[in-house]
Structure 1
């Protein structure tokens, strides 16, 4: 090849090119974005709408359904879901893969704008946003040391603007503090006495708090702008607001209401390590580097010196720490794997110089890969770094073959330069073809759709880049270095003589094994089929899962109080839980408690819910694993009665909802609720199912007001007027805002607190008629306490109820099968059905996509070999090395106790391109010998032991390079462990069967070929 000759003739040029590539690689490495996993770009959008004070039924009827109808006709819409809860509506739109989401969002906004007049008064403007399920806070910090009120002011006025200026920060949210507001607590009796109503008060306050411009006047040679300043500047200004009734009475606001500055009722309370705190959560920009952004935030924290005395700022959660630990773990796995590969080379080659020649291909290939990753937009994450670790052994395969052939020419007496030229040129086409079989298996993964493709395409590209780089090194740098460093042929070294004797014994044993299998061909085939059948029988015992969870040392404790529990009662209960958690302080680094919240961020929160996020100390500083800590904590917290407490380990964020999610669909919520109860009862005894719960469990208690429209009309009141007065009395109405020291403070009209606390307060509430008289609400309405829904779900404009469950102690696939078996026993009414969602659905979809990818990969491998051999028969013989891989795959997963998962499936696809290489080497050499007039039997006995050495070298370098990942050394290696184990066991077992089975298959097909040839010859002769 011209490239080989050029590299040998111009070594200085090759060195300069390599130096330039290395320099570019280091620059690329510095600029690569760090993240835990590849970014999953799903075509998702959300439409969020607030409807303050509204119950879930009203939210669904008046907000969610109109929004659904407006977007349901948009093209390429795959799934349309809505969630309606008190005060908020969230409509989720999932489009088909490949959709241009930017242009589609424009269509969504246009459709939403058309229903602006349909939405009820009081509903907020719908917000259309791109939805990224991975866009979670990368960092949270706690602010403590003062009252929640002052901490809120410090956070909003000083810290939020400061941190949002830092590079990479998209937004900062604040929770746990209190906001000031001015409450105008109206006296309905005095309002009626002066002939005033609440709407008059609202309109007057809004009109009195305005400034305006009135043109300009001349003063000498200047124009003076005329400005009328009417803004409120103090609470006294609000109190002195003059109100005028229709009868002409003039009163000030403080004559009919109590005006005071207070704090808005908060639905969220935050604590850090048991002390009240305000928590700031940071979101990064889409294209920002997670680690760099977190570092910028940490540096900004250290540089900020303006906190008041006694106020401290501490990191609560930093996701970049786990990313750095995970990347560092994989980095060291690469180093260890590289060392193992070099030791294997040194053992076989018996030459430090030859080992250096090949060993140089590893760092050069890795650094070159960083350049290709940078220009293709890939990130440096656990999977891409894992791809480098997985490919560390495969990187030297091409170089081994090239160098071994150069050494053969060197031993025949050729000069260093001629040996490099002839040895590399002779095998370069075969090496390229062999590497191509490994590369083509990744093409189907890249071109499939779904989460499997988005997760593993970066890994496939990384391995492909590394193999391409190592292939380029093998045909350029290896010949050049060989022409300079291999000053003499490799000779036996006394220190290595023990290994030569060992290899001689291995060759003799292998030759004897070949004689046996060639003599007992049917027995060999039968033994192979029996082993394959036995491995297939093991499959049901292995089980399946989606993605192996990563141990981040984080624990989540969820506290679910009885529905409707006041936030004060929930906080009292969490004080007891906090004391129990303090028993684990030796292993806890920081604890963050949030009481309340749980909404969509656009409406009311849930006061009956609390959540702990617990960060454990580093594994080296504790004597229990995260899972063991979860089990101990769960056992202790279950002793506290009064709430449902769930303790779980937080994973890396790739899971999509609950492991088991049963979606019940139908036309009536009551029927769905009954079905959900039956389903929850049926599956709770399934082995592995934990905490089954329905989305309708323990509905939210509510007071239903049924307005008698006829009676209301007799008093001159409309239905809407009654509802408005009830909302204003109990929820309040923002009349205006005034500025105080740069802060905008709400002015809210509301009843005094002692008149809006009990049911009797609601029943006795005075409703003002148009004539000014007051009547009790109970006069025109019936009040009934009922259990209303917490959340109403719909999918594809049809009611839906979900039953969720966790999976403990068993694999996801087996539990899903048992759950489906239970559901098949349940008789669903006509028009009602179920679907399995959550991680189980994602797992099935991903396995389906990867199955197609595997089939196409096998076809592409066969096609490449057919082109290489220019023959259809020999590639078919080589493909018989593939079935034996199932023995190693199932055996490896069974022995290690790992379930079959997405990474393991990707390992099988990779094996399709790896295992055939050994068979290619063996079959190709058998054909070479037969062309030299060797007898078939002798050709096999000669080719097998002769090719055993390179087969062992390439297999051992690949296998040992993956051993660190297979062992799972360090945190963050969980995602690659099933992949590495699959390849190690699959390749090892396949290599053994290849060495003994392929010669037998070769003889069978050779006999068949001879019979067919003889048949056609007889036909021609006749």
Structure 2
């Protein structure tokens, strides 16, 4: 090859190019973003609409359905889901992978604008937003102090604005704080005595709190702006606001109401390690990087802590970047260990430090060159891309080993260093390029398939491809150049390592005897191979299937749910019992973050009957039990706490893929769906491995419905809106204006005193003021009914839906899903009702289908590349017979290690399709080289095959041992690569053995067939 000649003749040029690549690689590495997993592009839009006072049924009928109908015709729309709740509607739209979400959002806005006119007058403006299910806070920060009521203001005024200026931070939200407000507690009797109504008070307060400009006047040569400053400067000024009665009399606000500075009623309570706290949750920008954003926030914390009051403490509650850093460091450690293993194998085989250095130097060069390619293609340093480097650490030296081994052979035959480098590299360069090409092309289908599998593993495929391309270039340029300078003498064949040469000689003798036997009993060899394949196939049902192995982040979630309608204080009381149980695990719990209540998405009402603990355990090295064991023990402890439904679950490395099992039940009637869901929860709870089976149907929210008799109201001159407005003002209040205190804007809210709005009797006895000033009881124009209304209504693709979900513990997802499907087949579904199993089970099934298609195309591409390389259809077909034997290794490896067949394992099979043929390529190619020298076929096989044992053993051992650290699962975050590494290690090891024996047999069969065909043509 000319490239080999150039590299040998121009060593200085090669060295300068290498140094330039290394410099560029280090610069790229500094700028590469770090994350846990590659970003999964899920094009989802959401339309959020508030509809105050509306029940879920009304929100569904009057808001959700019209919006669903409007957007359903948008091109590329895959699924529509809606959630209708008291006072709000959410419509989610998931588009097909690859759809431009910016363009889709424009279309959604256009469609929503078309139906705005038919939405209820009381409905708010629909908001069209992006939605990212993976968008969870990067970090939670707790604030504690001696005066908790001042923490909210401190956070709003100083900390949040400072944090939001940091790089990568999108927004910072505050939970658990207290917000100031001015309450105007109206005395209805006094108000009515003066002939005033609430609207008059609201209008007067708003008008009295105004500043305005009134033009300008001249003063000498200056124009002075005239400004009338009438804004409230104190609570006393609010109290002294003058109200004008209908008779013309003037009344101060303090005469008909009590005005006080207080705090809004809390809808959430936040506690960190049992101590009341204000918690800041930091969200990163869509294109931001988790680790970089977290580092910026930590640096900002150090800077702002000096400016905080002495009694205020700021502490990181949870930091998602910590696990990412630990995981990346673990994979980096695996890369180093794998590289050391590979170098030791080389040293053992080559018996020369110089020869080992020639190949060993190619590893860092290939890795650093890969960083450059990753940077320019926009990839990140994550568990999968770094895992790709760890997996490829052994494969990187394969090409170099084959080239160097041949150069060494010529060197031992007496050729000079330069001639040995030229001849040795040029002779096997075509075979090496063919081998590397077959490994590279298997990744092309992964890049072009759709779905989660492609989103996750395309970066891994690109990383390994970059590494292999870099190592291939190194093998045909740098290796010959270094060999021509460093191999000053032939490798030693005696000395302290001679025992290994004798061992290899015995291996060669054994292999030669086995080779004679298999060539003599060819049919038996084929039959034994098929028997092993059939035997391994019988083990497949015992392995099971899974989606992606979850990463053990040491995080546990405890969800506490009291009966619907439970007050916030009562839910908090239940959490105190939970705290008592959690105290037993004080030694393994690092932080515990409790949220009681909490709002939903964009205006959804808060859930005072729910509380959530997010628990971070100490490092695995500091505890004896794994996260799953601790989770199950805590779950058992919580069983007997009365008055609440408590579920405990492990928080995995969230990929936004939903629950492991999710059963979606569709049908027209909500009540029937609820009954079916309850029945399914009962049925699947008996399936082994199912944990925390729950239904999305909540217990009905207790409601006191006010049914206004519009005819009676009209007799008193009242409209429905006037009655509704007075009730809302009395019980939830009405913001009349905003009072400025420094930079803060504080709501001024009109509301009844607390003692007048506590009981049903207070509601029934509430007086309604008519336009004439008369007072009538609410019961005169309205009936009160206590009902149980649904908390929320779900719909998918314009059909009502209820979901049943569960986690999977101590069993593989595929087996659990099959058992659930078998259980549900016994259920008699009513007409018009159906169900399907979704969640990770559905994602797994779809991903397996995508990867199966990718595998078929990969095998075809491998054959096509070899056919082009050999200019022959027959030899590649012979080589492809090394593939079936990989089944034996794959199944055996997963069965022995107890790992289920998962997406990473499937990707490992695709990689094997390109790796295992490499040994066969080298073997067949060298047999042909020997035969071209005039050696008879049988003798050519006996000469060529044993001579390839050394390079095949070297390449196989370096690849296998380079992956051993990942297969063992050293460190945190290695779970995702473990099945992939196990698949390749066992698949490559066992298939190499079969390749060495089976391929020569297959070669003879096809050579005989080729001779017969040639003979027939010659006769013609």
- Structure 1 position 971, deviation (Å): 0.6
* 8 A Cα contact 2:399 2:475, kept in partner: yes
Structure-1 residue corresponding to 2:178: 178
The answer for the alignment partner of 1:146 in structure 2 is 146
Q: Distance in 1 between matches of 2:634 and 2:991?
A: 45
Structure 1 residues 598 and 737: CA distance shift in structure 2, 3 A: closer
1:251 — aligned with what?
251
In structure 1, C-alpha distance between the alignment counterparts of 2:210 and 2:110, rounded to whole Å: 33
Aligned to 1:44: 44
| Match in the other structure for 2:871 | 870
Aligned to 1:313: 314
Pair 1:721-2:722 in alignment: yes
Deviations 1:898-922 (A, max 9, x none): 1111111111110010011111112
- When residues 316 and 690 of structure 1 are mapped into structure 2, their CA distance, relative to the original with a 3 A threshold, is same
Q: Deviations over 1:336-381 (max 9, x none)?
A: 0001001111111111110000000000000111111111111011
CA distance in 2, matches of 1:715, 1:824: 60
Secondary structure of 2:643's partner? coil
Contact 2:431 2:921 in 1 (8 A): no
Matched, 1:652 2:673: no
Instruction: Describe the superposition over 1:3-52 as per-residue Cα deviations: whole angstroms up to 9, x where unpaired.
Output: 21121111111111111111111111111001111111221122223344
Identify if the C-alpha distance between structure 1 residues 926 and 3 changes in structure 2 by more than 3 Å, giving closer, same or farther. closer
For residues 641 and 523 of structure 1, the distance between their equivalents in structure 2, rounded to whole angstroms, comes to: 69
Q: Distance in 1 between matches of 2:475 and 2:792?
A: 62
Looking at structure 2, the residues matched to 259 and 761 of structure 1 have their Cα atoms a distance apart, in angstroms, of 21
- 2:439 corresponds to: 438
In the alignment, the residues of structure 2 paired with residue 201 and residue 65 of structure 1 have an alpha-carbon distance, to the nearest angstrom, of 39
CA distance in 1, matches of 2:990, 2:139: 46
Q: Within the alignment, does 1:195 sit opposite 2:195 as a pair?
A: yes
> Which secondary structure does the structure 2 equivalent of 1:926 belong to?
helix
Residues 1:513 and 2:483 are matched in the alignment? no
**How far did 1:116 drift?**
4.4
Q: Are positions 1:858 and 2:859 aligned together?
A: yes
Match of 2:817 in 1: 816
Q: Which runs of 5+ in 1 are unaligned?
A: none
Following superposition, the deviation at residue 847 of structure 1 comes to 1.2
The CA RMSD over aligned residues, in Å, is 1.8
Alignment partners' CA distance in 2, 1:1005 and 1:759 = 92
Q: What's the CA shift for 1:121?
A: 4.8
Question: Once the 2 structures are TM-superposed, how far is the Cα of residue 110 of structure 1 from its aligned partner?
Answer: 3.3
Q: How does 1:725-804 map to 2 (within 5 A)?
A: 725-804=726-805
Matching of residues 657-736 of structure 1 within 5 Å: 657-736=658-737
| Larger CA deviation: 205-214 vs 394-403 | 205-214
Q: Secondary structure at the match of 1:564?
A: coil
Structure 2 residue matching 1:472: 3-state secondary structure = helix
Q: Is the contact between residue 53 and residue 731 of structure 1 (CA under 8 Å) also seen in structure 2?
A: no
Are 1:298 and 2:298 matched, yes or no?
yes
Partner of 2:1006: 1005
Preserved contact between residue 44 and residue 92 of structure 2 (Cα < 8 Å): yes
Cα deviation code 1:157-196 (max 9, x no counterpart): 1111111122222211111101011122223333333333
- Gaps spanning 5+ residues in structure 2: where? none
Larger displacement relative to structure 2 (844-853 or 774-783): 774-783
Q: Is the 8 A contact 1:350 1:496 kept in 2?
A: yes
Cα displacement (A) at 1:395: 0.2
User: CA–CA distance in 2 between the matches of 1:221 and 1:670?
Assistant: 79
Matches within 5 A, 1:192-271: 192-246=192-246, 248-271=248-271
Structure 2 CA distance, aligned partners of 1:603 and 1:815?
34
**Quick check: 1:547–1:654 contact (8 Å CA) kept in 2?**
no
Aligned mates of 2:356, 2:740 — CA distance in 1:
75
Distance 1:263 1:123, change over 3 A: farther
Following superposition of structure 1 onto structure 2, how do residues 417-428 of structure 1 map, counting pairs within 5 Å?
Answer: 417-428=418-429
Q: Give, in whole Å, the separation in 1 of the partners of 2:992 and 2:763.
A: 80
Partner of 1:344: 345
Counterpart of 1:494 in 2: which secondary structure?
coil
CA–CA distance in structure 1, aligned partners of residues 814 and 468 of structure 2: 34
The answer to whether the 8 Å contact 1:88/1:600 transfers is: no
Instruction: Give the match's secondary structure for 2:496.
Output: helix
Residue aligning to 1:944 = 945
User: Matches of 1:583 and 1:226 in 2, distance apart?
Assistant: 69
> TM-score with structure 2 length normalisation?
0.97
**Aligned match of 1:281:** 281
Instruction: Please list, as runs of the form range in 1=range in 2, the aligned pairs for 1:372-521 lying within 5 A after superposition.
Output: 372-521=373-522
Deviations 1:649-706 (A, max 9, x none): 2111115221111111122212222222222222222222222221113222222233
Q: Take 1:259 and 1:565, find their aligned partners in 2: how far apart are those partners? A: 30
> How far 1:929 moved relative to its partner?
2.7
Q: Is the 8 A contact 2:669 2:800 kept in 1?
A: yes
CA–CA distance in structure 1, aligned partners of residues 160 and 942 of structure 2: 76
TM-score normalised by the chain length of structure 1? 0.97
Q: Distance in 2 between matches of 1:892 and 1:913?
A: 19
Further displaced range: 249-258 or 851-860: 249-258
Bigger Cα displacement from structure 2, 852-861 vs 807-816: 807-816
Partner of 1:540: 541
Distance in 1 (CA, whole Å) between partners of 2:738 and 2:617 is 44
Quote the Cα distance in structure 1 between the aligned partners of 2:376 and 2:994: 41
In structure 2, C-alpha distance between the alignment counterparts of 1:940 and 1:784, rounded to whole Å: 93
Question: What residue in structure 2 maps to residue 829 of structure 1?
Answer: 830
Native 8 Å contact 2:660 2:806 kept in 1:
yes
Q: 1:775 & 1:58 partners in 2: Cα distance?
A: 29
**1-side partners of 2:110 and 2:874: how far apart?**
60
Q: Which deviates more from structure 2 when the two are superposed, residues 392-401 or residues 59-68? A: 59-68
Asked whether the equivalents of residues 345 and 958 of structure 2 are also in contact (C-alpha less than 8 Å), the reply is yes
C-alpha contact 1:22 1:367 (8 A) present in aligned 2: yes
Q: Tell whether the 8 Å contact from 2:134 to 2:656 is kept in structure 1 after alignment.
A: no
Please tell me whether the aligned partners of residues 350 and 493 of structure 1 are also in contact (alpha carbons under 8 angstroms). no
Name the SS of the counterpart of 2:948 in structure 1.
helix
Task: Please report how far the alpha carbon of residue 775 of structure 1 lies from its aligned counterpart in structure 2 after TM superposition.
Answer: 2.4
CA shift for structure 1 position 239:
2.2
- My pick for the range that moved more, 225-234 or 241-250, is 241-250
Distance 1:946 1:2 in 2: 27
- The worse-fitting range, judged by mean Cα deviation, of 839-848 and 772-781 is 772-781
